[in-house]
Structure 1
Amino acid sequence: MTTKTLADYDFETGEVLLLDKPLTWTSFDVVRKVKSALRIKKIGHAGTLDPLATGLLILCTGKKTKEIDLIQAQEKEYAGTFRLGETTPSFDLETAVDMARPYGHLTDEQIWEATGPFTGVIQQTPPIFSAVKVDGKRAYELARTGQEAEIKAKTVEIKTFEITRIALPEVDFRVVCSKGTYIRSLARDLGVALGCGAHLTRLVRTRIGEHRVEDAFSLEAIEALRPPRPEGEGPARPRRERPSTAPNRVGLQYYAALQADALAAQQHQHDAPAKPETPTE
């Protein structure tokens, strides 16, 4: 962890701030929260991170906003989990499973070998649920209204794609890649190569260039640094804190439902009587 504390930062003049983005928050959510908490006039982020991803999000303030493009161009490193045997339209947990196929016949060797064609400079097609523009509109806007769109493939470079754990149907991975690479598309493509389908269930951005998530601050640490309101200034409008399991944006309801089901199952187990009962269908 860096020895520099938040109190040492001069945000108005310009700083590069590393944050560990919480689950379900958009990158814009984080920027808005930090801007409000620290009362920074000029701030932006260097590389979007999906709401269902966590990990390193880099914020630039003041004069350091001029470095955003430079930081965005640096290589990225991710870790996460693919689930084999199921596909979703968004290639992740944002949408419900639309197809299931057998996966139990796959060997570890087959899974390891399937990563080979996806390393190096490759052509990759972004997800329909992405910010790619199609005829002037964001692709996800079309997808969420049921419209079809032709997404063109783009050139990306995947320097490292390694499988770090196999516990079918789950497969953990580590990827080092260029700007513009979609890990969700990599899940889709690996599933196609294996013939069983796959989607992304967990994603953590661990590095951008030389910046690492281990050196990142939490939003709680940022909030703790909030300065007192100047005397005479009107009362602040009550802040609406984002619920941890019930995101309020279209497209994340499925994720919220998964969390609600998990919580309900835990509660049911907690409330179950000690004496076993005859199971019912």
Structure 2
Amino acid sequence: MFSSSRFSIDLPVLVGRLRAAGCVFAEDEAELLLAAARTDTELAAMLDRRVEGHPLEHVLGWAEFCGLRITVDPGVFVPRRRTEFLVREALAARPDAAVVVDLCCGSGAVGAALVAALGGAELHAADVEPAAVRCARRNVTGTGGLVHEGDLFAALPGALRGRVDLLAANVPYVPTGEVGLLPAEARVHEPLVALDGGADGLDVLRRVTAGARQWLAPGGCLLFETGERQAAAAVEAVERSGLVPHVATSEELYATVVSGTRPPV
């Protein structure tokens, strides 16, 4: 247990306030806040933000993802633990990938994790949100990766056409009518563009599948998350694009990943 003796706010007080605010893992969060804060003033401010409902990752300034510490700025989509399944599926599909694209990259967590596991690859990440682009640059610069601002494929350098081995697209897939049902941490503090997938949640996904083939290398693979009940429609979109579909699920992480592979010839 982390010692709180250097702060005027002690651990039991922290835990009590966090628990009263509805934080399920109040003890763990209190430990993280104590470890992150440098002064009483900073600890009090962090505690207030968390109690007000800000995501813990925004309060701390980072999230753990695939064993990496990913910088997460306020207003940027927080990488979910279930998305680690997307990374695992991508690595299983193309363990030899030399060119990786992280589309709808948010913080750049997926791209950073893929390149770290691959032992180095050419990485391009892209997002339409300026705040996400700034944050992603902080996370992928050390890998030699580049982050581009713009709408999906329009953001990417044309020289990537036909060269991409792994195209990971963490597209929004919450139906518009269900966005209001999301936890306040998400719907209030994360960008709507990273959550709202249109009427059935698949609007952005269909745009990605429609354009993916021309960017993938022969044998290249597109992967994205979707809801379990959306998987059949997502597979249809993949098939219409001329890619070979595959669906994988993780009961442990409650995650569904749909992929589409460009035929090698």
Range into which the TM-score falls when normalised by the shorter chain: under 0.3
Q: Which has the higher strand share?
A: 1
Q: TM-score, normalised by structure 2?
A: 0.24
Higher RCO (CA 8 Å, separation ≥ 6 residues): 1
> TM-score, normalised on structure 1?
0.23
Identify, as 1 or 2, the structure richer in helix. 2
